[in-house]
Chains A and B, each alone.
Chain A
């Protein structure tokens, strides 16, 4: 009935672990929170998000936590009998099985012919088990081995900001710099342009977004940055 009165925090407030967010049974704990008796308590450092009755805390820092359907950029670190192991920046390496490759791989074939050590892949997460073993696939549109260009790393939690609403931010950067850019959900960004200057400008813009992701009117700031950069 009276949901608001039990909330002890304002939406989008920064909370710390152990902070009581709400009292009573009107609200439901979600990611980053837990219930103890009558109280809902944060167990992470982050921003509170209140959606109806559901309270969750969105983490602003920390390593990448894989989710299904994420597009990630990873590096081949190990080759086994039945596939590749790819470092995607999370706690465990991801599995790329033979079945999840576009080409048909014959039995006993030399797997380095397809993906060699240290090669960089754009892949999609298909499954994350409870024990955090991660399966990725190369069988979807746009997934491939990448060559050339550069890769920069940003904090994974800032990725949505870099992409923007319906991809507005990233398409603006692409437009101004004529670079091809792929943003992995794991915080790795691949940039390839026709010349180095363009790549540097795109890098600058993305780094700017990361460092000032909390600022209002970020789109305008980035737009001026890009316009100034292209003038020179």
Chain B
């Protein structure tokens, strides 16, 4: 087992986080979330008319997420455009946000969420969800709670929170395990849970416990960032 993480963090410590709301001027709602070197920007457009028409739901609004990585976000240039990976992440993002949203007020329309990763150092889908959740709140969409997300896992035989790229590539002690989770702190539900790697039941429970604590911290940062928008103007 390793006794120290590559970047010197504690096992249950996440990287430095920072949120900022209202950064895309032309969007109805927008937010940025930074965790360590990972930066995600989310912009919400809508509610607006959904085309093509057959996708419309006359009973409630539709949420459409689009996750994408900028070509310069990783060290080897990422080929632009959608890929198998980004399609999957768009879908899980959508599913992790839907449980808190109340879209009954917007029948036949769509709420578009665009997530752009401008800098990637692991944990991009979680950063994207956190940013998207803030952007939706900023756009005035009714939602029960804010969604916060973090990746937990096992590195070098230890249960850790918030893996970075170096840890994700660490092959010693059975290889790394990556578990991205999204959590709604209010009612304590997980809205995203993926698992890549090997882990025992006990370790898994321990990892989720640590993840929950981190998510609560992230939610505090989300709250602070959202309230900040109006404080600046009040002065």
Chain A residues in the interface with B (C-beta under 8 A):
14, 16-19, 32, 34, 41, 43-46, 59-63, 65, 90-93, 131-132, 157, 211-215
Contacts and interface: CB of A to CB of B under 8 A. Distances in A.
B24 to A, nearest CB: 13
7 contacts: A16-B146, A17-B137, A43-B143, A61-B139, A61-B140, A91-B46, A92-B109
A132 B226 contact: no
Given A45-B140, A62-B29, A14 B233 contact: no
Contacts of B231: 14
Contact of B234 (A44, A59, A131, A215): A215
Nearest to B186: A18
A14 to B, nearest CB: 5
Contacts of A62: 28-29, 139-141
B47 interface: yes
B109 A18 contact: no
Nearest to B48: A91
Interface of B: 28-29, 46-49, 58-59, 61, 100, 102, 105-109, 137-146, 184-186, 219, 222-223, 226-227, 230-231, 233-234
A213 B232 CA distance: 12
A16 B227 contact: yes
Given A18-B219, A34-B144, 17 more contacts: A16-B137, A16-B227, A17-B146, A18-B143, A18-B144, A41-B144, A43-B102, A45-B226, A46-B140, A63-B140, A65-B105, A92-B107, A93-B49, A132-B105, A132-B106, A214-B230, A215-B234
A41 B184 CA distance: 14
Given A14-B227, A211-B233, A92 B29 contact: no
Contacts of A44: 137, 140, 142-143
Contacts of B140: 44-46, 59-63, 157
Contacts of B227: 14, 16
B233 A212 contact: yes
Nearest to B230: A14
Contacts of B137: 16-17, 44-45
